[in-house]
Amino acid sequence: MKRIISSLLLLVLLTLTGVNAQNNSARTNGTARSNAPVTLTLPNKEGGVRFLVMGDTGTGTDKQQQLAQLMLRYRQIFPFEFALMLGDNMYGGEKAVDYKQKFEDVYRPLIDQKVKFYAALGNHDDSNQRFYAFFNMDGQEYYRFTKGNVSFYSLNSNYMDKKQLDWFTGKLATDTSTWKIAFFHHPPYSSGGAHGSDAKLREIVEPIFIKHGVNVVFAGHEHFYERIKPQNGIYYFISGSGGKLRKGDVNKASPLMAKAYDDDMSFMLIEIDDKEMHFQVVSRTGETVDSGVVVNQRKSSG
Amino acid sequence: MKSKQVLAIAGIIVVCIAASGRVLSQTPSPPPLSPADKQVADAFEKRAKDYVRVREALEAKMPPLSKEAKAEEIQAHKQQFQERVRAARAGSKPGDIFTPQASTLIRAIIKDEFKGRDRVELRNAVLKESENKAVPLRVNYPYPESQELLEMPPTLLLRLPPLPKQLRYRFVRNNLLLVDRENGLIVDYMTNALP
């Protein structure tokens, strides 16, 4: 009898899984995604610091456009104020027409809604992007800005020289913000097959993160999403599929990986209050592929 | 001013200096160069600064680029800047800055920095995985915008002779280039840079 019940349960399970897989497949293979589902898992409280994170965007492809349309739809229910760009903002040429096709045309509806973009430079980016009004870099390759109780440090991981490191440590040493977030292009930790962890960068920057209490790090470069298991108390995220996708590149057996998604392009939505950072990762197909809460390490221990 | 106040101010100054020194010392220091190597590195740095002086003088005659520029303005500024520097440095040739002595020193630093597994990974990154193989090896010519600017390993940057902020080291194939970060020109290059 037990065997019969077990077999029936297994059959039901397989059927359900099969249906679900079919649905996912159908959604992934589609083209226009303006009707992708929009479901918010974030608290969406008044007063929180709300923003979007995306990396490796600068292709100007239809898929990048579709992802941007989904961002716009999410903004209707989750009014994020700004977006972090994790580098590779412009692939290929960097003429005026490229800025238009690979950025302005794609994100025009968000620009028109006064969403501010804060860019970091990647290995495909000309340094002159730092003068581009829409990237809000104030003419600097690395810079800091604050929103509420959060300090954001945009770093140039493509050229981490002594000048930049001295600037970074100097700024952090006097930073009393509740949250310190660094964002840049190359990931110190990654389960990607094409690139993997940037160990040389990590060797230099991670001791600084630890010493000065950086809470969260966002990086791109890898064309997928990954949440790394906390390393030395720091939460590392990769969000590098805003315009390109390296499908199936994540090593699923990686001991670093807490969660990863490399089936389609994606972006992150973030909400920060005094003690918690809530995150939701949305794929081009409208699926929420990861979500959760990061508790402020210093707040919880203090 | 009373002596106590003077002492207090002096104390604050001492603490500030000590604190700033601590901040700066957090960046790892590279192993020191020998006096002979230091001389070669200093001369290299001077030649790099000489280039920067020339290009700064040329840029100063151009309308400044706003920190809130439009894409068209960025493109126009870069193009004009390239043309002016190219004209001013029409006679420049490989080795003007990377002299044989400087190249030998830099090769030795790179070789010492990348050993074993690190060396294999560097060679893979530069020679196999990079997307900059179409960069022409020509002084005073633009580094093509379509080509990747390969990340420079930060541990190496801490050891190479420091450059003015306007200049960047870049690996292209088996070569190390000096590239102007604003006008995108290849200022000089050295060959056989990889160990």
Confidence (pLDDT) at B1:
44
Total domains in the fold of chain A: 1
Confidence (pLDDT) at A297:
78
Rounded to whole angstroms, how far apart are CA atoms A69 and A286?
Answer: 11
- Residue A268 has, within 13 A of its CA and on its CB side, a CA count of 32
State yes or no: pLDDT of A147 exceeds 50: yes
Position A67 confidence tier, pLDDT thresholds 50, 70, 90: very high
Collapsing DSSP to helix, strand or coil, B17 comes out as helix
Query: Distance, in angstroms, between B69 CA and closest chain A CA?
Result: 5
Collapsing DSSP to helix, strand or coil, B1 comes out as coil
Position B74 confidence tier, pLDDT thresholds 50, 70, 90: very high
- Asked if B27's CB is within 8 angstroms of A166's CB, the reply is yes
Domain that residue A231 falls in: 48-301
Position B79 confidence tier, pLDDT thresholds 50, 70, 90: very high
- Compute φ and ψ for B136, nearest 5 degrees: -75, 140
Query: Distance, in angstroms, between A298 CA and closest chain B CA?
Result: 21
**Beta strands A235-239 and A216-219, pairing class:** parallel
Position B27 confidence tier, pLDDT thresholds 50, 70, 90: low
* Contact with chain B for residue A104, Cβ under 8 A: yes
Confidence (pLDDT) at B4:
53
Cβ atoms of B45 and B161 closer than 8 Å: yes
Rounded to whole angstroms, how far apart are CA atoms B78 and A128?
Answer: 8
Q: What is the pTM assigned to this prediction?
A: 0.88
CATH code assigned at A195:
3.60.21.10
Examine residue A39 and state whether it is found in any structural domain, yes or no.
no
In the β-sheet with A288-295, what is the strand arrangement from edge to edge?
A116-119, A82-85, A49-54, A266-272, A276-283, A288-295
Confidence (pLDDT) at A35:
77
Query: Distance, in angstroms, between B90 CA and closest chain A CA?
Result: 24
Cβ atoms of A38 and A77 closer than 8 Å: yes
Examine residue A268 and state whether it is found in any structural domain, yes or no.
yes
Contacts within 8 Å (CB) and 24+ apart, A130-135: A131/B65, A131/B66, A131/B67, A131/B68, A131/B69, A131/B73, A131/B74, A132/A99, A132/B69, A132/B70, A132/B71, A132/B74, A133/B66, A133/B68, A133/B69, A133/B70, A134/A103, A134/A104, A135/A85, A135/A89
Average confidence score pLDDT of chain B: 89
pLDDT in tens, B86-136: 999 999 999 999 999 999 999 999 999 999 999 999 999 999 999 999 999
Examine residue A104 and state whether it is found in any structural domain, yes or no.
yes
Position B30 confidence tier, pLDDT thresholds 50, 70, 90: confident
Q: Residue A50 is inside which H or E element, if any? A: strand A49-54
Sorted by sequence, the CB contacts under 8 Å of residue A213 that are 6+ apart come out as: A172, A180, A297, A298
Confidence (pLDDT) at B31:
84
In terms of DSSP H, where are the helices of chain A?
2-28, 62-77, 96-99, 105-112, 162-173, 199-211, 297-301
pLDDT in tens, B1-14: 444 554 444 444 43
| Among A92, A163, A203, beta carbon nearest to B155 | A203
Confidence (pLDDT) at A34:
57
Which of A99, A110, A39, A11 shows the shortest CA–CA distance to A68? A110
Cβ atoms of B194 and B94 closer than 8 Å: no
State yes or no: pLDDT of A294 exceeds 70: yes
The separation between CA B169 and the C-alpha centre of its own chain, rounded to angstroms, equals: 5
State yes or no: pLDDT of B15 exceeds 80: no
Closest chain B residue to the Cα of A132, Cα to Cα: B69
Look at A21-30, A40-49, B137-146 and tell me which has the smallest mean pLDDT: A21-30
Mean pLDDT, range A46-58, rounded to an integer: 97
First and final C-alpha spacing in chain A = 57
Q: What is the ipTM of this complex?
A: 0.86
Which pair of structure tokens corresponds to residue B61? 């005659």
Where do the structural domains in chain B lie, given as residue ranges?
A: 35-190
- Asked if A133's CB is within 8 angstroms of B151's CB, the reply is no
Judging contacts by C-beta atoms under 8 Å, the chain B residues touching residue A123 are: 148-151
Average confidence score pLDDT of chain A: 90
Query: Distance, in angstroms, between A244 CA and closest chain B CA?
Result: 15
State yes or no: pLDDT of A300 exceeds 80: no
State yes or no: pLDDT of B49 exceeds 70: yes
State yes or no: pLDDT of A289 exceeds 60: yes
Percentage above 90 pLDDT, chain A: 86
- Residue A266 has, within 13 A of its CA and on its CB side, a CA count of 32
State yes or no: pLDDT of A290 exceeds 50: yes
Rounded to whole angstroms, how far apart are CA atoms A152 and B182?
Answer: 25
Residue of A127, A210, A244 to mutate when probing chain B, most B C-beta within 10 A:
A127
Mean pLDDT, range A74-86, rounded to an integer: 98
State yes or no: pLDDT of A1 exceeds 50: no
